[in-house]
Each structure stands twice: as C-alpha cells, then as structure tokens.
Amino acid sequence: MSQITARLPDELVALLDNAAVELHRTPAEVVRQAIEYFLEDFQDISLAIQTLREPADPVLEWEQAKRNLLN
C-alpha cells in the first residue's frame, strides 16, 4: 500500500479528527474512505458527461421522457 502526504487547513484537520472519533476510526481510515467515495462519484459523473457529449445519441424532450417513464 502506498502512502501520500497532504497539507490540510487546521480547521479541516479538526473536523477530520472529530469525525474519526465519532466513527471509531483512525483519521487515515476516514480519509481513505472519503477518497474512495469521491472517486466512485467522479467516475460516475465522468461517464455521464461522456455519454451526454456523444453526438450520435438522440435528444429527448423532457415532457416526452417524463411520459415514457410514467407510463
């Protein structure tokens, strides 16, 4: 496992320490999980943006899409 170093504002470190205590985890575990969640969301958002930029995909009008979903 690799190790990285990051500089954080004191206020953020205090919030991290408080969260770690409440979660019964180490600050490193909280940071690792937060990064994992962020990267999962980032990958999902990146895929969505890539899909939206595909020029061959048809564009649906909102009202038609809503009717299709509700029927």
> Which pLDDT tens digit goes with each residue over 2-45?
999 999 999 999 999 999 999 999 999 999 999 999 999 999 99
What is the pLDDT at residue 48?
Answer: 87
The alpha carbon dihedral of 32, 37, 43, 46 has a sign of: negative
Residue 37 maps to a domain: yes
Residue 42 maps to a domain: yes
Domain boundaries, position 28? 10-70
What is the pLDDT at residue 17?
Answer: 98
What is the pLDDT at residue 60?
Answer: 79
Residue 61: band (very low, low, confident or very high) from pLDDT cuts 50, 70, 90: confident
**Beta carbons of 20 and 29 less than 8 angstroms apart:** yes
Residue 28 maps to a domain: yes
Residue 4 maps to a domain: no
Residue 68: band (very low, low, confident or very high) from pLDDT cuts 50, 70, 90: confident
Residue 20 burial (10 A CB sphere; 0-12, 13-18, 19+):
middle
The alpha carbon dihedral of 52, 54, 59, 60 has a sign of: negative
Residue 61 maps to a domain: yes
Contacts of 29 (CB under 8 A, 6+ apart): 20, 23
